[in-house]
Chain A
Amino acid sequence: MDTKQLKQISQFCFELPRTGKMRVPGRLFASSELLRDMDEMVLKQVANVAALPGIVGASYAMPDAHWGYGFCIGGVAAFDPDKGGVISAGGVGFDIACGVRTLHTKLKSDCLKGKEKQLADALFRKIPAGVGSEGKVHLSAGQIDDMLSGGAQWAVENGYGTADDLRFTEENGKMSGANPKYVSDHAKKRQRNQVGTLGSGNHYLEVQKVVEIYDQKIAKAFGIEKDDIKISIHCGSRGLGHQIGTDYLKTMAQSAVALGIDLPERELACAPINSKQGQAYLAAMRCGINCAMANRQMLMHLVREVMAALFPGSHIRLLYDVSHNTCKLEEHSFNNKTRKVFVHRKGATRAFGPSSKELPAEYASVGQPVLIGGTMGTASYILAGTDVSKQIALSSACHGAGRNMSRKAATKKWFGKDVVRNLAANNIIIRSNSMRGIAEEAPGAYKDVDAVIEATHNAKLAKKVAKLIPLICVKG
């Protein structure tokens, strides 16, 4: 991107000054190199978000930012409902509450030796993944509503997990204020056969090995040691969330004109938070959050079954579950005044520091685990939220590597079978139904996750704790 219009605030923070219709400045967190390689559209989208009614603070972009829909992916913005602030379906995205759940296994890497293929096959058989895959659980209309109100708590009450899992899930596994009445029948029908499924695209289940610890104290609090085997699940609210996004994007885009909201692009469709439509979306989006947390809880249950059968010595516990496509009501300070604002994070991870009251006791002194997924061939990272992030970026951090190449370009560059072979040479086992899907998700199609993490750490958005490399990847 053309960085001439940016003002450097610090080594890893750049400001886009207010111009035109912008109500607040833009703030981009990145190294100079990452910034240079960012798409030009990121700047435009940061500026467009800055022009929305009721925005407070700044319009932020995380180090993995890229061109999105209305908001850039990696975009963060807060809106004050008492100042005409809006909520945007595009600011949350289609895959509501897409996120990462990382599990402890109590196993060290030697325990896996010689059993890698067996585990890969067992997980691939058990975890419904890919286009059109159906879950084992088919819910009635009434059960769907209970799941949408209850989230992961509903899943645990129905036998898919333990009460302890909930303590390590955001919102204790249940997003309050969810009302299934505001979710269309279409959305509920789309979910009926998709409960407990992984999805496709960049979603995955990965068996990982901890290869490096950067912060011993925090790692100890998180329960992470070198050579540990962890399992990470990356997925979201499946068809239900996608349909809620589709439904509300349409009504918001059509009604914005009537409400006198100037939309620089239709995908920024939004409604005042204190309006009937804003409240309806909020209630529906919160159902999407519950759906995603329930989904990941049920996938964790399937992992437990596989691991119990193959590794009797294993013990699956939850390290943390955090979403990266959400809008949440939080307290933040602006000009030394605390305000309750609705924080949109589109492809950005909440990263609460130690001062947050919403952390489980085990993490209270070190901050929230920030789970960042890599690609099939590259590392994932566990970071910890910082209190600095609350001051500079509304307690937000990056969410992944971020693509640097389109799917079309990726399929032109790589064949799926070559990607699988290359990964096998690096001792990474891939299981997927689709070779084309693998080509589209080739590690080379993504930015360098290591550079994104360095920038996130150096900008103090979150603190590096551990690095994990993939051993087995079940691709959706």
Chain B
Amino acid sequence: MYEHFNHQADIGIKGIGSTIDDAFEQAAIGMMAVICNPRTILPEKEVKIFCTAPDEEFLLVDFLNAIIYEMAVRNMLFGKFEVTVKGDCLEAKAWGEKSDPQKHQTAVEVKGATYTELEVKQESGEWTAQCVIDV
């Protein structure tokens, strides 16, 4: 499950899941939902993503920025993610297709994931992973 929260100029995303992996996957879907409706994206092509960072919060920002980079250089949108976080490493697969403004009704390009409102935590068995996205 993901949620969006308000930031005056931009938008916050929050991924919620039973594991940190789920929370990161949902945060990624939440970010895609800022751009378009993720359900309109067909999982035609798989792209692999690797990140390392000193802690889980930096790892979330790195992961989201890696997705932004792959979208930009491949001109793709992603609608499905599979994430494995192991210590300070993250391995992920992202599935998507070429961006088509008419089909996907892309609202806005994402410039970068920020450290604003950045938080990754586990509370009562539930993981949340959130930050503000600059658009």
Contacts and interface: CB of A to CB of B under 8 A. Distances in A.
B25 to A, nearest CB: 21
B58 A250 contact: yes
Given A73-B9, A267-B115, A433 B61 contact: no
Interface of B: 4-11, 34-36, 54, 58, 61-62, 65, 68-69, 71-73, 75, 77, 99, 101-102, 104-109, 111-116, 118, 132, 134-135
A192 B74 CA distance: 11
Nearest to A241: B111
Contact of A440 (B58, B65, B107, B116): B107
Contacts of B34: 407
Given A73-B9, A130-B101, A267 B116 contact: yes
B72 A239 contact: yes
Interface stretch (A48-56, A64-72, A167-175, A293-301): A64-72
Interface in A143-175: none
A255 B62 CA distance: 16
A132 B99 contact: yes
Given A267-B115, A433-B101, A250 B107 contact: no
Interface string A77-101: 0000000000000000111000000
A189 B134 contact: no
Contacts of B62: 250
Contacts of A406: 6-11
A20 B9 CA distance: 28
A405 B35 CA distance: 18
A242 B114 contact: no
A253 B10 contact: no
Contacts of B4: 408
Given A69-B134, A250-B58, A437-B108, A131 B99 contact: yes
A244 B134 CA distance: 14
Nearest to B61: A250
A192 B6 contact: no
Given A94-B134, A132-B75, A246-B112, A407 B106 contact: no
A246 B65 CA distance: 8
A419 to B, nearest CB: 13
A130 B106 contact: yes
A201 B109 contact: yes
Interface string A347-367: 000000000000000000000
Given A66-B8, A190-B69, A245 B35 contact: no
A193 interface: yes
A69 B133 CA distance: 10
A437 B107 contact: yes
Interface in A82-141: 93-95, 130-134
Contact of A131 (B106, B112, B134): B106
Interface in A181-210: 186, 189-190, 192-194, 199-201
29 contacts: A67-B9, A69-B116, A94-B111, A130-B109, A131-B109, A132-B71, A186-B69, A190-B73, A193-B75, A200-B135, A242-B68, A243-B69, A243-B112, A246-B65, A249-B114, A254-B54, A265-B115, A266-B115, A267-B115, A267-B116, A404-B8, A406-B8, A407-B11, A407-B108, A434-B101, A435-B105, A436-B107, A437-B107, A476-B109
A107 B77 CA distance: 41
Contact of B105 (A194, A267, A434): A434
Given A265-B115, A265-B116, 19 more contacts: A67-B7, A95-B111, A131-B104, A133-B101, A193-B75, A200-B108, A200-B109, A201-B109, A239-B72, A245-B112, A249-B115, A253-B115, A267-B116, A406-B8, A408-B6, A433-B105, A434-B106, A434-B108, A440-B107
A433 B116 CA distance: 30
Contacts of B54: 254
Nearest to B8: A67
Interface in A251-291: 253-254, 265-267, 269
A186 B66 CA distance: 10
Q: Of B10, B65, B104, B108, which is in contact with the most chain A CB atoms at under 10 Å from its CB?
A: B108
A94 B77 CA distance: 21
B30 to A, nearest CB: 12
Contacts of A253: 58, 115
Given A131-B109, A249-B115, A265-B116, A201 B7 contact: no
A221 interface: no
Nearest to A133: B101
A15 interface: no
A411 B65 CA distance: 25
Contacts of A133: 101
Interface in A427-442: 433-437, 439-440
A433 B35 CA distance: 13
Please give me the 7 A-B residue pairs with the lowest Cβ-Cβ distance, nearest first.
A132-B99, A131-B106, A266-B115, A433-B101, A436-B107, A200-B109, A406-B6
Given A39-B8, A67-B9, A69-B134, A189 B73 contact: yes
B33 to A, nearest CB: 10
Given A39-B8, A66-B8, A254 B112 contact: no
Contacts of A211: none
B66 to A, nearest CB: 9
A90 to B, nearest CB: 8
A199 B108 CA distance: 9
A267 B133 CA distance: 12
Nearest to A94: B111
